[in-house]
A and B are shown apart, each in its own frame.
Chain A
Amino acid sequence: MPKPLIILAALLVAVLLFSCGEEERPVRVSLNNRQEIAAKPPQPAITYAYLPQYSHTESFQRHQQLVAYLAEETGLSIRQVFPETFAHHISMFSQGKIDISFSNPFVYVNLARRYHAKAMARIVEEDGRAEFRGQIIARRDNKAIHSLEDCRGKSWVAVDPASAGGYLFPLGLFAGHGLTLRDFKEVVFAGGRQENVILGVYAGLHDFGTIREGSLNVLEHKIDINQLKVVATSRSYPGWVYAYSPRLPREAVDKIRAAMLKLDYAHNPRHRAILDAARFIGFVPSDDLDFDPIRELNGKVGLEGE
């Protein structure tokens, strides 16, 4: 046979072999072999909940390391749970589904008053303070709003009626300047999410919004936060607080508090990593008296007793 024909035949065979390829070998599995199954209930553990300001994943990522640290440090089984809303958080606390509540001082005042929650430690914010403030933000190109007075008759988006920095602190600020809820065109709540408030103002859906100080930085990689301006900032109030359920044994509380206070942001890299994830730099001991200014504010804005 001539050489070109041999080459042609060889090429054809090669192409055919390539074309046929290697078939995948399946694993034999029966879908008809069925059983009714039930999930095993979770092991008993101390439940840890973060007042839902952000998505669950954000909350998880912020606090999971801390939860793991506390569990490891105390030898207790601690599990993070995720309430959907502020009300859900309060509800779960009331139901005993949350043993350790990390909440804003307003919620804490509420929990303490209604469900006998006890403060065990306050966090130290990234700015080194154990207090925090509320901020009134508007679009930088909104020429109509330059001061608190300019907010009159405007659309207001707040985090949640129970949000301290995102609603109550600014509300107290407005009250101090003679503005009540009736002076605004509307007050809309963003389901407890600081990001929703920021995005609502950023999108122009609302004239101004109120957020917890520092929340803008959460979205600095997602939006151009320079398009927003801070119209006013409230006075400082006691910061976020860890409170424990009265059902939690005292011994466990002490272990947990001790573990919290043990965290050394400045000198322990592991602690630093844990605290960086949680977006604060440490703990200070706290008791219920620290939150009297909040209670005053409640009276001022007419929320006392809720």
Chain B
Amino acid sequence: MEKAKNLSPDLFKPAQIEKKEQDALSRKSVGYWQDVWGRFRSNLGAVLGLSLIVLTLLLAIFGPLANNYDWQTQMLDVANKESFSDHYFGTDHLGRDMWQRVWYGAKISLTIAFLAAFLDVVIGVTFGGISGYFGGRVDMVMQRILEVMYSIPNLIVIILMLLIFDPGIVPVAIAMAITGWVPMARVVRAQVMKLKSQEYVLAARTLGASHARILLKHLIPNVMGPIIIAVTFAIPSAIFFEAFLAFIGLGIRPPEASLGVLINDASTYLQIFPYQLIYPSVVLSIIILSFNLLGDGLRDALDPRMRK
């Protein structure tokens, strides 16, 4: 030790260290979601994905305010014109403003996707949660039902659905959710099965907690991570599927517009007016890409293996 150093004897008086301080925590409380956000923020791709989604959502909602047209008025005198004056994306074969139509279509596509994903969550979480939590015979029966559901080709279900209902936003979303909830139920069931033997669940049971309380307070909140990830991957596939349905003429039908309808319309004139195809396709691709980026980022941020 540096004996040469001049140290005041005062320094060797007992320090007053409060007992409370021994159990003191770092001053700033970091909640779980803050922690997730911290990790998410450091992931460039995920932030890019999220920004693009926000941008697309804003454009889908407020984009149409940028010029004074609407998505369905036909102006045949300016049909098939590439971008000019305030027709930012030009006009289609009926002279409708493409800018308006692209964002209106995006809005419809996103609405359908969000609605379908929401239905997936509601059905999937309930079904998977109950199946996984109770296990045993309940689980056996529910899993067989699920397998039957999954083995019906979803196109057939959707065609039947759309024969009965008019193909609007809600019927298309319901048609997609009828088979779409199965993967969600599987994710939730697997997680619940894993979590239900965790000690905090056992602790709740020894305290006399009801099944509903255990599911709602202990299990579902802890499955939120995987649910959110599944949703971020379910949304782009729903958008894609909606576009596909519209394209083969089963989904939203003209004059209604969704991204799929726009692409279908434009494909007729692909060789003459490629721009009519490019704008909706680019928007569609950006939406799908950004949701996938977001999903990857969320998976990294929520992954329990990264947490300690």
- Answer yes or no: are A and B bound together in one complex: no
